[in-house]
Amino acid sequence: TQLLEQSPQFLSIQEGENLTVYCNSSSVFSSLQWYRQEPGEGPVLLVTVVTGGEVKKLKRLTFQFGDARKDSSLHITAAQPGDTGLYLCAGVWGDKIIFGKGTRLHILP
């Protein structure tokens, strides 16, 4: 069974601080996606990373795929209250997509 472990489960920080959340697995994925979900809504796709070592930037968010394609990180610079939400990673393995349980991020104003 392929599992994606996300850490930390919860993170509460002050506006303006930097943070990194992680998505780890013992399995190799063909690609990995990051989503953000706000309460009562469906997740929204932020980015897909495909190549080992790939780095993608989305404004203040930086996503990195591990060299071995088993893990990924999301770094947020100068966090804003609008970054608050549940961040989910999802790994594609063959025909399957597997979601982690998410990191719940709360940015305090």
Partner 1 sequence: SQTIHQWPATLVQPVGSPLSLECTVEGTSNPNLYWYRQAAGRGLQLLFYSVGIGQISSEVPQNLSASRPQDRQFILSSKKLLLSDSGFYLCAWSVGIDSKEQFFGPGTRLTVL
First to last CA, the chain: 40
102: left (phi over 0), alpha (psi -120 to 50) or beta: left
Alpha carbons 60 and 39: distance in angstroms, whole number: 22
65 binds partner 1 (CB under 8 A): no
Q: Which of 42, 59, 82, 109: binder of partner 1 (CB under 8 A)?
A: 42
100 binds partner 1 (CB under 8 A): yes
By rule CB under 8 A, what count of residues binds partner 1?
18
| Segment lying near partner 1 (by CB under 8 A), choices 13-21, 64-72, 74-82, 84-92 | 84-92
**Contact (Cβ atoms closer than 8 angstroms) between residue 23 and residue 8:** no
The footprint of partner 1 (CB under 8 A) covers 31, 33, 35, 40-45, 48, 88, 90, 92, 97, 99-102
